[in-house]
């Protein structure tokens, strides 16, 4: 009787590929149990839903946080500086009460690729990378936090791209934080129309398809 052996194909997960490719990369740095691409990293590109993204970090559970390479639109944050009631969240996400979610609706098979993204809504008067204490996790798309911006290298990082764009944090003076064209963090009252760079979180079990993480050859999962 001929013996039959099952041949199993080992799945090459995206997160494993990223870690293996950056094992000795000094611009791939663990901070507060999360591993960030820092400073002028140039091998953290991902293509998903025909949009070019940058990998911000690999989270403790191996999910992957991405931000668009550039702003996808310009909006006012809104006078109500509660993130949940902001124009930004409504534009980014769908919900049962207010069916907007223009951006979420263009993402390919989001349930297959994404998990809910943590939104840091700490009220911050001093710039700090202290781990976020107020986190919301009820939507797929969010904005970058002050903490993640600092951990990535602040104005000396790839996240400083000569654009104005909003962050997720506010301060005690009813102002919302944003990044200016110099890469500095500043605040406004939420009425200024500036850039929006959506943030999403990829699942930890997505199969790597192709790419090297460069701008010309981004990682692909579709």
Read off the pTM: 0.93
Q: How many H helices and E strands in the chain?
A: 4, 15
User: Within a 13 Å sphere around the CA of 199, how many CA atoms are in the beta-carbon half?
Assistant: 25
The string of pLDDT tens digits covering residues 159-218 is 999 999 999 999 999 999 999 999 999 999 999 999 999 999 999 999 999 999 999 999
**Residue of 200, 212, 182 whose CA lies nearest to 118:** 200
Question: What pLDDT does residue 4 have?
Answer: 46
CA distances from 5 to 2, 8, 9, 11 (A): 10, 9, 13, 19
Question: What pLDDT does residue 205 have?
Answer: 97
Positions in the chain whose pLDDT score sits under 50: 1-8
Question: What pLDDT does residue 79 have?
Answer: 82
């Amino acid at each position: 009787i001929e013996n039959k052996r099952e041949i199993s194909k080992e799945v090459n997960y995206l997160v494993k590929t990223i870690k293996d490719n950056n094992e000795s990369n000094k611009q791939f740095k663990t901070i507060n149990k999360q591993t960030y691409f820092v400073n002028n990293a140039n091998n953290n590109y991902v293509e998903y839903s025909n949009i070019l993204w940058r990998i911000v970090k690999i989270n403790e559970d191996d999910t992957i946080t991405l931000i668009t390479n550039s702003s996808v639109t310009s909006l006012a944050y809104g006078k109500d500086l509660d993130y949940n009631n902001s124009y930004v969240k409504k534009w980014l996400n769908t919900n049962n009460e207010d069916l907007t979610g223009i951006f979420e609706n263009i993402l390919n098979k989001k349930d297959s690729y994404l998990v809910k993204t943590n939104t840091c809504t700490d009220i911050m008067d001093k710039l700090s990378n202290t781990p976020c204490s107020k986190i919301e996790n009820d939507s797929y798309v969010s904005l970058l936090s002050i903490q993640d911006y600092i951990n990535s290298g602040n104005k000396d990082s790839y996240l400083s791209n000569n654009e104005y764009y909003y962050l997720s944090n506010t301060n005690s003076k009813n102002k919302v934080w944003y990044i200016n064209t110099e890469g500095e963090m500043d605040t406004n009252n939420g009425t200024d129309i500036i850039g929006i760079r959506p943030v999403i979180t990829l699942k930890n079990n997505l199969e790597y398809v192709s790419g090297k993480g460069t701008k010309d050859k981004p990682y692909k999962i579709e």
